[in-house]
């Protein structure tokens, strides 16, 4: 029986409370009535997730958790007390994040990124925000331009630290993070650079010509809304560009350069015009 993981089990008998299952190791576990799928009877095999109930007894469920043991997840806080926070991870029983495993103040409805692990002392599934010990420093399999998943887990003086592809840590500078994202945000990113020491810098916008093709619509849409002219060019202030377009100055210059080459816009000292 693997606590915190999916187990392929055989249904052995029905009782008043549900269906008794047998794991591959021969141990028995209860699948409560409300989780028993139609058509499953003694003799059937079924895939279930096993965890501990409120009385620390193994119990099976056909509910799907947002993550299993030894995985990272971005989860929302349902409740906070003096000893723990309780996170919504897709099951009836919330996941406990003990106070000792928290790295910042949490409140109800906030989001956090955690690692789920099996506490060897209690055999309970718990969460931790202390992620760095679980992150792989060997980034030799990655290359600049690779598309990756990012989970924002910690603020940094230059932006945010994120779990990259559920395995590595990467830094996203403020200029590479779209407005409205923060701790607990999950999205797609691209490896921007890899330092000689293997440290990752990640952007939420694709790099090079691909960025021009994917994000040029932002500039075109704003030009159309403004009647075909906007007083912005490559001499504009970075904060003015970010406020208007939600882009870094570097990305904006790359985009308008691509649009100019494609004869979609005209660039003048006064600003940019749609090429009609």
67 in a structural domain: no
124 and 146 inside one domain: no
Report how far residue 51's alpha carbon sits from residue 4's, in angstroms, rounded to the nearest whole number: 5
Strands 200-203 and 168-173: parallel
87, two tokens = 């996170």
Same-domain status, 116 and 139: no
Cα 232 to Cα 173: distance, rounded to the nearest angstrom? 23
Q: Look at residue 271 in the predicted model and tell me its pLDDT.
A: 93
Task: Supply 90's token pair.
Answer: 């897709």
Residues 60 and 56: their CA atoms lie apart, in Å, by 12
Instruction: Give the CATH number for residue 55.
Output: 2.40.50.140
Same domain, 197 and 223: no
Residue 269 sits in a domain whose CATH number is 1.10.10.10
Q: Single out the residue of 269, 154, 254 nearest to residue 210, CA to CA.
A: 254
Q: In this structure, are strands 84-88 and 72-80 parallel, antiparallel, or unpaired? A: antiparallel
Domain limit, last residue, from 132, 162, 178:
132
Tell me, what's the pLDDT at 206? 64
127-to-110, 138, 162 alpha-carbon distances in Å: 15, 24, 17
Ramachandran angles phi, psi of 34, nearest 5°: -70, -15
Distances (CA, A) of 96 to 14, 75, 113, 149, 167: 31, 11, 13, 25, 22
Residues 199 and 217 in one domain: no
Q: Is residue 57 part of a domain?
A: yes
For the segment 222-258, what is each residue's pLDDT rounded down to a tens digit? 899 999 999 998 889 888 887 888 777 877 888 888 8
Query: Are 123 and 152 within one domain?
Result: no
- Tell me what pLDDT residue 215 has: 66
Contacts of 35 (CB under 8 A, 6+ apart): 18, 48, 60, 61, 62, 63
C-alpha span between 209 and 275 (Å, rounded): 20
pLDDT along the chain (276 residues), means of 10: 93 93 93 91 92 89 95 96 94 94 93 95 91 94 88 93 96 88 91 90 72 70 91 89 78 83 89 88
The pLDDT of residue 111 is 96
What residue numbers bound the domain in which 11 lies? 6-61
Contacts of 38 (CB under 8 A, 6+ apart): none
- Supply the pLDDT for residue 266: 92
Q: How far apart are CA 74 and CA 65, in angstroms?
A: 12
The per-residue pLDDT for 193 is 87
DSSP 119: -
Shared-domain flag, residues 82 and 25: no
């Amino acid at each position: 029986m693997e606590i915190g993981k999916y187990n392929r089990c055989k249904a052995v008998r029905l009782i008043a409370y549900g269906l008794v299952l047998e794991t591959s190791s021969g141990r028995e576990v209860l699948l409560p009535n409300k989780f028993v799928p139609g058509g499953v009877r003694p003799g059937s095999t079924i895939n279930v997730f096993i965890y501990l109930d409120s009385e620390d007894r193994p119990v099976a469920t056909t509910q799907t958790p947002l993550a299993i043991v030894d995985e990272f997840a971005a989860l929302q806080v349902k409740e906070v007390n003096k000893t723990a926070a309780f996170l919504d991870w897709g099951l009836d029983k919330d996941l406990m994040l003990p106070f000792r495993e928290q790295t910042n103040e949490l409140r109800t409805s906030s989001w956090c990124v955690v690692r789920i692990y099996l506490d060897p002392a209690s055999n309970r599934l718990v969460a931790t925000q202390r992620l760095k010990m679980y992150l792989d420093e060997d980034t030799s399999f990655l290359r600049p331009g690779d598309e990756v998943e990012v989970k924002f887990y910690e603020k940094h003086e230059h932006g945010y630290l994120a779990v990259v592809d559920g395995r590595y840590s990467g830094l996203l500078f403020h200029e590479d993070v779209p407005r409205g994202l923060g701790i607990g945000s999950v999205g797609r990113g691209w490896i921007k650079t890899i330092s000689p020491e293997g440290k990752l810098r990640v952007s939420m916008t694709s790099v090079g010509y691909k960025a021009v093709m994917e994000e040029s619509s932002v500039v075109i849409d704003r030009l159309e809304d403004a009647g075909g002219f906007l007083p912005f060019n490559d001499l504009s202030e970075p904060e003015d560009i970010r406020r208007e377009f939600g882009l870094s100055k570097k990305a904006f210059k790359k985009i308008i350069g691509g649009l100019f080459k494609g004869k979609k816009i005209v660039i003048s000292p006064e600003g940019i015009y749609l090429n009609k």
